[in-house]
Chains A and B, each alone.
Chain A
Amino acid sequence: MRKIASLFTMLMLVTAFAFAQNRTITGTVTDEKGDALPGASVRIKGTRTGVAADNNGQFRIQAKTGDVLLVSGAGIDATEATVGSGNTIAISVKRSVVAGTEVVVTALGITRQKRELGYSTAKVSGAELTKAKSVNIANGLQGKVSGLNITSVNNGVFEDVKINLRGIRSLLGNNNPMLLLDGVPMGIGFLSSLNPNDIEDVNVLKGTSAAAIYGPDAVNGVIVVTTKKGKVSTPVITLGHSTQASTISFFPEFQQEFGSGGYGAYTPYENWSWGPAFDGSVVEIGHVLPDGSVQTVPYLPIRKEKQKFFNTGVTIQNDLSFSTKDFYLSVQDAIIKGIVPDDRNRRTGIRLSSSREFGKFKVTFNTNYIQSNYNIFDDVSMGNYNASQNVGLNNGLMNLIFNTPAHIPITSYKDFINNPFAEYNGYFNDYGHNPYFAIDNWRNFGKSEDLISNIELGLKATSWLSFTYRAAMNMSTNTGRSTTKGETPTAFGVGRGFASIPGAVGDFANRGSRLSSEAFATVNKKFGELKFSAVAGHYFRQTDQKNTSVSAGNLVVPELFNVSNRTGELGGGSSFSKTRLLSVYGSIGLGYKWANIEVTGRNDKTSLLAAANRSYFYPGVSASFVISDAIGAIKNSSVISYLKLRGSWNKTGNVTLGAYGLEATFSQASGFPYGSLPGFTANNSAPDPLLRPEFVKSWEAGMELSLFKNRVGIEATYFHQDNTDQIIPITVSAATGYTSSTVNAASFVNEGYEFDLKLTPLVQLGDVRINFRGNATYNTSRVDEVYQGLDQLFAGGFNTFAANYIVKGYPAFVFQATDYLRDDLGRVIVDKITGEPSQDPNTKIFGQTMPKWIVGLNPTVSWKNLTFSILGEYKGGHTAFHKIGDDMAWTGVSIATAVNHRERFVFPNSSYEDPLNPGKYIANTDVTLSNVNNFFTGVYRDVASNFLTSAAAWRLREASISYDLPKKVLGNGKLIKGVSLAVTGRNLYLWLPKSNVYSDPDFNFSTGNTSGVGTSQINPPTRTFGASAVFTF
């Protein structure tokens, strides 16, 4: 029978006997990672004798052998250590999360006690982040924080993610939270460049209020990343390694009954799988080659053949760090080999963090250089080539693989140079390339480099007044190249209709920089019980971007990838942009015992808007009340340890517009210039030149509750955001002269609830401790207005087929898609003769595209040094579209196309018009589809609702078992201070509803605002297993 440990175990007294004289004991207090803990209180139990540890965690105390030292302090578990015979003592304590005393890094990098905050924050420690050894920090945050929706949009070597906090505030503009790295604001894109092992912790400031002082960048919340800094004077060296393997975890369902051909007749070179049923006979595939040879195979499906095309992905990470007091240096090398053959990426980074104090001055310098080198299949170039050839369905690698008939031994075509049946002219398919040839022919490779540096000067002028100046520079350079090897068909190939693929090369160099300068003064003063704080500051930022590209589309000498090796004109272009932002801001806070209130204000001036509109002010207010301190009855309650209520209101201005966005432009097109003859055409978009900022008014209210001596922690928050004056490129009738116009238009409401639950421990049984953390988010939105006379807007996807739309009265966004023509009862209307349904010319609204519910569940079991942790995540209440389903219907490989073994059937739930009574419909029980082949390759594909499914998914996001080797094994830390071993898994299982036979519904064609649109460029989802070891010296 399970015994629940007493809550008071840890407080039980241990009897100690005094049997020696007092002497000076020197000790250090460190946390579980060996970092010094400054300021901890050290007291001899049962006495009043006590000292505080200094900044290096060191202390001296008069004690005698057998005395019990009680170490306590903010943010640590009270720990006892018995004085032995030596004169030194090392005390390791556990950092604890004592409600309210948790320290949170907020705006400007200022640390605050969580109890004082009027808004919702969440903290994820570096250790929690790196549990499953994800390469991208964003992946490490998945499922761990309520209100945070992190979506992996594809499964490649870059781990592209989309991050939203509390849904969206801008319909078509930026919804990325701001990244605040060591106090310096920067674009969220840098998150993927950082080494997760450098991270001390991540604080998530969820609402706009957390960031009212940060201005436009922070309207979508802030992810505050604090990097590790050296803490103790003794150097610590950490060496880490992890290796992970990725394999496909989910694959679309294919029919296994029919091979290549059309209308039931066998064709050896078809990409249609509309041939006869498999019968095991020996059939030819492809054409008879000029030498008379022809490939033959048994006419049977080859199981799992398509899966075998993909490799096992491998990710290898090596880390080395060196830290000592005020100095931290780290190097990381991550090598990622994708599941698509030949796709790889390697990220190498170095980080240096150093600070020094000179009396009242403190100088801090952080610099980080990261380099990524990638080499991947270039499906965009392949798509462009196929489009130029009017070849449909071939713009993604999955099209080439998935649409291959089931009896084709696709993995036998790897050697497309020597194998005559795999070679360009000899490949069986008349309508698609050998995928092995394709991934070799179209490549994309390049290097991205980030340099992130900042310098901080601090002056602590008096005990209550300090000044800070920060200058920061972020520089990103991307240089890359796309190459097409090219191919010239033989006469045999030309006869099959193959065209040449011109050799091509495109080079680009993009360079972006952001310089910022910020100065602020902070005041913190106590007048008895009254705490006064104030901040006043000034911020200036300039961004510069320069993009240059040059290309040649017709190389002369094959595989000499230089633009000078060409015929025809040089392609390419260049663009520059520069923006500036000037801001002043301030805040005033008052605290009295259990109550805190803070007022903020900021004024921005931006170069992006016309002079009349460019300056705008926005205020905010927040308050917190620690009820458990205010009301004696609660304070003394044995049940409630902590209860805080909080609330905030604020307004935030945001300009979601790029540089030079106020004027319509013209460009040259259609081959112009022809020599000395230029030819311009108006571009498709025309903006309102007097655009105003988008404003978000938001409020939130929440409570934080701890029960049973902090064993149970509950947080709940309601948030509500009114988003008005959205800067939106609305799609307009082409008859206006443009297809889009950027205006201040739509408004929408975004609201929801967030819940966090911590049970620490849930169960404690001797040394076995089970903790549980869970979070849940409910988020919904409603579009109140779009634009005069316009109730809906296209937002992204396959327009007029299946796309994300903004529709008045519905959540942002909803799918609008084509459907069958239906009668009043919702039955599909079919033709009385052909039995074929038809497409409704009006598109219809289907479900929302962003999840209503996100739930994360994270139980952890630990026994001594062994920890087992899993993280489950659920998203639901939304809809996804799978374009590949449409493509797979055309070629007849999808499971749906084999319904009723392709015999004629009565369309389910259908009706036809009563010939005697037009407008009335009779239930169809006997009219069968005249031609199943025509139906699936025709109307079925036109009806996008056939490929819409629930986007709900449960996934086992993370699982890890880690083991810290006991110190005894390591010779008590003489050489090696610690060894930590872990076995990790990511995305181990994906549970999808039955209707979704296609792919991970999280995957999306872009990292933009829209979601749930899957295309053939998206790789199948994978699961990742790995092992890691970390050595500390």
Chain B
Amino acid sequence: MFINMKKIIIFSLILLMTATVGCKRDFLDINVSPNSVTPGSISPDLILPRAEHAIGARMATSYRTYGSWCGYWSRSGTYGPNAEEESYNITSGFGAGEWSGWYDILTDLDIMEKKANVLGQTFYEGIAKALKTVGFMYLVDQYNNVPYSKAFDLTNNILPAYDKGDAIYADLLVQLDNALVLIINANVSANTNIANADIIFKGNQTKWRQFINTQRLKLLIRQSQVPGFSATAQIAKITNDGSGFIGAGQSANIQPGYLADNGKQNPFWNSFEKLYTGDAADQFNRANNYVLNLYRNNGDIRYQYFFDAAATPLSGNTYYGYNYGEVLPNSDPYKQANSSGVGGPGLAKSASQAQWLFTSVESLFLQAEAIQRGWLPGTAQTAYENAVRESFSWLGVTNAVSTANAYLTNPFVVVDWSQATTSQAKINLIATQKYLALCGVNNFEAWVDYRRLGVPTTLPLSMAPNRAGRVIPIRLQYPQAEFTYNNANVNLEGTINPQSSAIFWDK
């Protein structure tokens, strides 16, 4: 019996020992991820490069639809119709990536802004604010009212309310004020690694000031048709800053080190020219006959820079385009290989080229319109002609300046300044040439100007058989995810009709 009791005691002790093994206090404190960067370890210089790249990539590659609606591009004969897009029948499933895509980028910028603020890295903070105005501009331009003041606050606003589009625009201008102050006063050396992390301007304060001024001008030009709108106070801020705008040859370009490798190519090249494998990247988008004819019928060589020659021309048609929305019989001989791709040699130069974000061409056209509107001093015609010349140069047209000058003397209505007699006609001419300069470069601007000014005035509608009288949509429907996950707030916006519910600046 004694022996048995002893055994029991020994066994119980063993049990007790196993039970108390590892009762150190930190025994269960092992839940720190060894795999991922967390909010504690992130820093602004780790966020900025990807955010800048993502903005450029989105601007350059996400707007093929608007390019097609506005006469730049068209579906190649190889593909069946894209029914929803070509019939203008916009539902909540269409373009939903715009919403989530921009908020995704804006979230990173918001985190970077707050982190930089805590760290006292005001340059990063200013860049975050400036770039946020770009993202929200795209959101308002497509959806009008969107969450802004209540965004990025999961804890307190899991169902973010919407702000009015005009109020957002007004605040974006305020944010540009703040960004300007932060960048002007920034101690560059306190902003760790900014010369590498800023893959647009390498931490150059002057260039960021120019970017902010040009972005401000862009926001103002967008609102120019709003009745009673005055740009005076805002223009004064640009003038006071004194750094000017993005000038000729000074495009804001993004260069993280693109190279010809999987997932690392220049975004435009990768989407519309060639894959890293060397295969054609895009068999779908082809030249639209509308814009192709606008170039060719007006002595404008630039079509050879915006578009590729057909890989296998048929009947001598080196440059061949399609009519948007036209349903071609399968017997139509012109397939993708027989038509002009959209990554022309003026745009897609190499897999490692920098990605343009804000081109000097667009900046010059914005300035020309501002001068014509009397907002900025100068001669509108000179500014206009400089902008056209900058387009030829930007594209790398052979003998750009002389070719541009020759083009400017053409007596065609799409280019001849002297034929634009009224102020509105001059604005429209500037917008028309802007349209002709940004084909594939910035498809979004074509859609903005078409809504804002109705330019180009001769733009044909889609030939889709089921278009059923619809006109080019003037906005997107809110995405289905908002109807599902933020239902009460999105429903406060009332019934949205993409054919008629205008963005606030689209008067």
Interface residues of A (CB under 8 A from B): 261-263, 265-267, 270, 272, 360, 388, 390, 430, 459, 461-462, 465, 467, 469, 494-495, 497, 499-500, 502, 517, 519, 521, 538, 540, 553-554, 567-569, 574-580, 582, 584, 605-609, 611, 614, 659-660, 662-672, 674-684, 686, 730-739, 741, 787-792, 794, 799-801, 831, 833-834, 836, 838-839, 841-843, 930-931, 934, 937-938, 942
Question: In the complex, A741→B154 CA distance in Å?
Answer: 8
Is the C-beta of B201 less than 8 angstroms from some C-beta in chain A? no
B18 pairs with A575, CB closer than 8 A: no
B277 pairs with A611, CB closer than 8 A: no
A682 pairs with B91, CB closer than 8 A: no
Q: What are the residues of chain A within 8 A of B108 when measuring CB–CB? A: 681-682
B50 pairs with A736, CB closer than 8 A: no
Chain A residue nearest to B31 in the complex (CB): A607
Q: Show 30 A/B contacts (Cβ-Cβ < 8 Å), sorted by A.
A: A461-B11, A494-B280, A495-B312, A495-B337, A497-B335, A497-B337, A500-B279, A519-B19, A577-B35, A607-B28, A607-B31, A611-B29, A665-B36, A666-B47, A670-B54, A672-B50, A677-B49, A677-B257, A733-B486, A734-B481, A735-B147, A735-B150, A735-B486, A737-B110, A737-B154, A738-B107, A792-B484, A800-B480, A839-B91, A842-B483
B7 pairs with A843, CB closer than 8 A: no
Is the C-beta of B228 less than 8 angstroms from some C-beta in chain A? no
Chain B residue nearest to A663 in the complex (CB): B38
Q: What are the residues of chain B within 8 A of A519 when measuring CB–CB? A: 14-15, 18-19
Chain A residue nearest to B76 in the complex (CB): A497
Q: What are the residues of chain B within 8 A of A664 when measuring CB–CB? A: 38-39
Question: In the complex, A665→B276 CA distance in Å?
Answer: 30
* B254 CB to nearest chain A CB (Å): 11
B257 pairs with A843, CB closer than 8 A: no
Q: What are the residues of chain B within 8 A of A741 when measuring CB–CB? A: 154, 158
Question: In the complex, A841→B91 CA distance in Å?
Answer: 7
State the majority secondary structure of interface residues on B: loop
Q: What are the residues of chain A within 8 A of B33 when measuring CB–CB? A: 659-660, 663, 665
Is the C-beta of B393 less than 8 angstroms from some C-beta in chain A? no
Question: In the complex, A503→B274 CA distance in Å?
Answer: 18
Is the C-beta of B196 less than 8 angstroms from some C-beta in chain A? yes
Q: What are the residues of chain B within 8 A of A430 when measuring CB–CB? A: 78
* B78 CB to nearest chain A CB (Å): 6
Q: Give a binary string over B32-58; 1 marks a CB under 8 Å from any A CB, 0 the rest.
A: 111111110010001111110110010
Is the C-beta of B21 less than 8 angstroms from some C-beta in chain A? yes
B264 pairs with A671, CB closer than 8 A: yes
Is the C-beta of B261 less than 8 angstroms from some C-beta in chain A? yes
Is the C-beta of B278 less than 8 angstroms from some C-beta in chain A? yes
Q: What are the residues of chain A within 8 A of B22 when measuring CB–CB? A: 540, 582
Q: What are the residues of chain A within 8 A of B54 when measuring CB–CB? A: 670, 681
Q: What are the residues of chain B within 8 A of A683 when measuring CB–CB? A: 36
Q: What are the residues of chain B within 8 A of A582 when measuring CB–CB? A: 22, 27-28
> With contacts A540-B18, A737-B151 known, is A360 near B7, CB below 8 A?
yes
* B199 CB to nearest chain A CB (Å): 7
B160 pairs with A736, CB closer than 8 A: yes
Task: Identify 14 new A-B residue pairs, CB closer than 8 A, beyond the known A497-B336, A677-B49, A681-B51.
Answer: A262-B80, A265-B331, A608-B31, A611-B28, A674-B264, A680-B42, A680-B47, A732-B486, A733-B160, A734-B481, A735-B152, A736-B160, A841-B483, A930-B466
B262 pairs with A607, CB closer than 8 A: no
Is the C-beta of B420 less than 8 angstroms from some C-beta in chain A? no
| Interface residues on chain B, number (Cβ under 8 Å) | 105
Question: In the complex, A499→B278 CA distance in Å?
Answer: 9
A580 pairs with B30, CB closer than 8 A: yes
Selected from A578, A662, A794, A838, the residue in CB contact (under 8 A) with B484 is: A794
B151 pairs with A800, CB closer than 8 A: no
Is the C-beta of B474 less than 8 angstroms from some C-beta in chain A? no
* B132 CB to nearest chain A CB (Å): 12
Q: Give a binary string over B73-86; 1 marks a CB under 8 Å from any A CB, 0 the rest.
A: 00000101001100
Chain B residue nearest to A791 in the complex (CB): B487
Question: In the complex, A736→B482 CA distance in Å?
Answer: 11
Q: What are the residues of chain A within 8 A of B484 when measuring CB–CB? A: 731, 792, 794, 800, 843
Please indicate which of the listed interface residues B29, B154, B337, B468 has the most CB atoms of chain A within 10 Å of its own CB: B154
A731 pairs with B151, CB closer than 8 A: no
> With contacts A677-B196, A841-B92 known, is A831 near B485, CB below 8 A?
no
Is the C-beta of B416 less than 8 angstroms from some C-beta in chain A? no
Q: What are the residues of chain B within 8 A of A390 when measuring CB–CB? A: 284
Q: What are the residues of chain B within 8 A of A731 when measuring CB–CB? A: 481, 484-485
Question: In the complex, A554→B196 CA distance in Å?
Answer: 29
Question: In the complex, A799→B97 CA distance in Å?
Answer: 13
Among the stretches B98-106, B403-411, B436-444, the one at the interface with A is B98-106
State the majority secondary structure of interface residues on A: loop
B18 pairs with A461, CB closer than 8 A: no
Question: In the complex, A788→B155 CA distance in Å?
Answer: 12
* B13 CB to nearest chain A CB (Å): 11
Selected from A467, A671, A737, A833, the residue in CB contact (under 8 A) with B12 is: A467
Q: What are the residues of chain A within 8 A of B283 when measuring CB–CB? A: 497
Q: What are the residues of chain A within 8 A of B374 when measuring CB–CB? A: none
Question: In the complex, A669→B34 CA distance in Å?
Answer: 19
Please indicate which of the listed interface residues B31, B263, B336, B337 has the most CB atoms of chain A within 10 Å of its own CB: B31
A670 pairs with B57, CB closer than 8 A: yes
A789 pairs with B158, CB closer than 8 A: yes
A937 pairs with B83, CB closer than 8 A: yes
A681 pairs with B158, CB closer than 8 A: no
A568 pairs with B276, CB closer than 8 A: yes
Question: In the complex, A576→B280 CA distance in Å?
Answer: 39
Question: In the complex, A931→B51 CA distance in Å?
Answer: 46
* A470 CB to nearest chain B CB (Å): 11
* A737 CB to nearest chain B CB (Å): 4
B158 pairs with A497, CB closer than 8 A: no
Is the C-beta of B258 less than 8 angstroms from some C-beta in chain A? yes
Question: In the complex, A500→B36 CA distance in Å?
Answer: 35
B30 pairs with A578, CB closer than 8 A: yes
A469 pairs with B477, CB closer than 8 A: no
* B231 CB to nearest chain A CB (Å): 29
Question: In the complex, A749→B390 CA distance in Å?
Answer: 68
> With contacts A360-B7, A499-B275, A670-B54 known, is A737 near B15, CB below 8 A?
no
Chain A residue nearest to B28 in the complex (CB): A607
Q: What are the residues of chain A within 8 A of B15 when measuring CB–CB? A: 467, 469, 519, 521, 538
Q: What are the residues of chain B within 8 A of A732 when measuring CB–CB? A: 154, 158-159, 485-486
Is the C-beta of B488 less than 8 angstroms from some C-beta in chain A? yes
Q: What are the residues of chain B within 8 A of A261 when measuring CB–CB? A: 330
Q: What are the residues of chain B within 8 A of A934 when measuring CB–CB? A: 83, 465-466
B152 pairs with A736, CB closer than 8 A: yes
* B303 CB to nearest chain A CB (Å): 23
* A883 CB to nearest chain B CB (Å): 15
Q: What are the residues of chain B within 8 A of A575 when measuring CB–CB? A: 35
Is the C-beta of B423 less than 8 angstroms from some C-beta in chain A? no
B262 pairs with A568, CB closer than 8 A: yes
Selected from A609, A681, A801, A937, the residue in CB contact (under 8 A) with B50 is: A681
Selected from B11, B28, B466, the residue in CB contact (under 8 A) with A459 is: B11
A667 pairs with B7, CB closer than 8 A: no
Question: In the complex, A519→B19 CA distance in Å?
Answer: 8
B158 pairs with A788, CB closer than 8 A: yes
Q: What are the residues of chain B within 8 A of A677 when measuring CB–CB? A: 49, 196-197, 199, 256-257
* B258 CB to nearest chain A CB (Å): 7
B154 pairs with A568, CB closer than 8 A: no
Instruction: Give the 5 A-B CB pairs with smallest separation, nearest first.
Output: A679-B50, A735-B147, A665-B36, A499-B279, A660-B33
Question: In the complex, A263→B147 CA distance in Å?
Answer: 44
Question: In the complex, A731→B486 CA distance in Å?
Answer: 10
A679 pairs with B151, CB closer than 8 A: no
Question: In the complex, A750→B265 CA distance in Å?
Answer: 52
Q: What are the residues of chain B within 8 A of A521 when measuring CB–CB? A: 12, 15
B53 pairs with A679, CB closer than 8 A: yes
Q: What are the residues of chain A within 8 A of B110 when measuring CB–CB? A: 737
Is the C-beta of B153 less than 8 angstroms from some C-beta in chain A? yes
| CB within 8 Å of A: which B379-399 residues | none
